[in-house]
Amino acid sequence: MATEQIFSNANIVLEDEIVKGSVVVRDGKIAEISEGPSTVGEDFEGDYLIPGLVELHTDHLEAHYSPRPGVRWLKTAAIQAHDAQVVTSGITTVFDCLRMGSDEDGGFEKGEMRAMADALAQAARENRLRADHRIHLRCEVSTDNVLEHFEEFENDPQVGLVSLMDHAPGQRQFQTMEQYTFYYKTKRGLSDEAFAAFVARQQALSARYAAPHRTEIARACHERGIAIASHDDATLDHVDESVNFGVRLAEFPTSFEAAEASHAAGLSVLMGAPNIVRGKSHSGNIAARDLAARGVLDVLSSDYVPFSLIHAPFVLSDELETVSLPQALAMVTATPARTVGLNDRGCIAEGLRADLVRVERHEGVPIVRAVWREGRRVA
């Protein structure tokens, strides 16, 4: 028997406009959109109805699994806690980042992330999850064991995105040593000698492994049809390299020229939603709202604060006259979905999945009132 829901008197956020009207959901899909007041169905009383958010890059599951140095939490419990926070932030599709490659700077042992992926799949089978969880493999290409970790996911259909990262000092995120010194010397209390040795080791690993590992992982992704993301591109050479590798997503470019060149080349430029909310980068790089003002910001990611993904679009549309609310919300819905080939979601349009969020917002921080995934209420 067909199931039907009607959401009426909502401010419906479409891709290019906001209309006041009703949406009919039938069998988990959007069946009709109509304008005008109605006395039928659930009365939204003027609240926004927006597409479910699509999150491409969040490290938040890792924080639940390893909440303190050396502590490992029960995987299923960590997954459920992460899932609950994601969904109540309006996120209905999430790519959970799993770290590939470990060294003296940290990371996880071989097999740990494979076990986490298995736990995610099991949780989905047991109907424990409210969001649609997929996997984003964050590959630290300068580590000697990244390929061993990556090979454990050779036949995993959950993997939909792979990022190619190199956090060695002196380039990309750490073009200057000021932030690197704070991250790895000051916070850890290293002596000058110990820090100099650490820097030398990281640079040597990058020189030896980054290029061949980047090439091999990109090749494997192309064979399997997995979307590739660059990470912390800083120069035009970095962007050219990304284009040659068939990258679709430029994560966290660290210079205006890299962001503008990536956008011009057809890559979706991603920045952190916390960067928007805070007004600056936590690592001292470019501000995301400056990219938005230049028209070269395409996707937002919650990164380390899930709720920032629903908060940031409202901040952007409030503060920039050139960015409307539909444009800002597309950065967390339609554009990320299309970037990774999920063409069945991300918009309020007939025939698409009824991944929907009711949001109340008069001023300040928005309130997520209800969330539906494929027509089923999950929050």
Report the distance separating Cα 333 and Cα 327, nearest Å: 10
Q: What percent of the chain has pLDDT over 90?
A: 79
> Which pLDDT band holds residue 204 (cuts at 50, 70, 90)?
confident
Nearest partner of 47 among 15, 26, 18, 89, judged by Cα: 18
Q: Is the pLDDT of residue 180 over 80?
A: no
Instruction: List, for residues 239-284, the tens digit of each pLDDT value.
Output: 999 999 999 999 999 899 999 999 999 999 999 999 999 986 655 5
pLDDT over 80 at 198, yes or no: no
Q: Tell the burial category of 74 from Cβ atoms under 10 Å away from its Cβ (0-12, 13-18, 19+).
A: exposed
Report CA torsion sign: 252, 256, 262, 268: positive
Amino acid 179: pLDDT: 62
How many residues are listed for the chain in this entry?
Answer: 379
- In this structure, what token pair is assigned to residue 312? 């940031």
What pLDDT, on the 0 to 100 scale, is given for residue 325? 98
Residue 197 CB neighbour total at 10 angstroms: 12
pLDDT digit string, tens, across residues 329-370? 999 999 999 999 999 999 999 999 999 999 999 999 999 999
303 strand-pairing partners: 58
SS3 263: helix
Tokens 């990022």 belong to residue:
163
The DSSP secondary structure of 113-174, one letter per residue, reads: HHHHHHHHHHHHHTT--SSEEEEEEEEETTSTTHHHHHHTTTT-TTEEEEEEE---TTBTTB
Q: Note whether 256 and 286 are within 8 A (CB).
A: yes
Work out the average pLDDT over 305-316: 97
Q: State the amino acid at position 21 in one-letter form.
A: G
> What is the pLDDT averaged over residues 124-129?
98
Q: Does the structure show a pLDDT above 90 at 1?
A: no
pLDDT at 206: 82
Let me know: does 2 contact 26? Beta carbons within 8 Å: yes
The pLDDT tens digits for 94-111 are: 999 999 997 655 668 889
Choice between 190 and 101, residue whose per-residue pLDDT is larger? 101
At residue 205, the pLDDT reads 81
Q: How far apart are CA 236 and CA 310, in angstroms?
A: 32
Which domains are seen in the chain, by residue range? 52-344 (3.20.20.140)
Tell me which H or E stretch contains 336: helix 334-339
Residue 194: count other Cβ atoms within 10 Å of its Cβ.
13
Contact 120, 112 (CB under 8 A): no
What is the rounded distance in angstroms from the CA atom of residue 14 to the CA atom of residue 348?
6
- Residue 193's pLDDT is what? 78
Task: Provide the 10 A C-beta neighbour count for residue 339.
Answer: 21
Q: What is the mean pLDDT of the chain?
A: 92
Band (197; pLDDT cuts 50, 70, 90): confident
Confidence (pLDDT) at 183: 60
**Of residues 326 and 173, more confidently modeled:** 326
pLDDT of 143 over the 60 cut: yes
pLDDT at 170 over 60: no
| Residue 182, pLDDT score | 58
- Of 96-100, 197-201, 373-377, the one with minimum mean pLDDT is 197-201
H or E, element range at 192: helix 192-224
Q: Name the maximum alpha-carbon separation found in the chain.
A: 73
The pLDDT of residue 194: 73
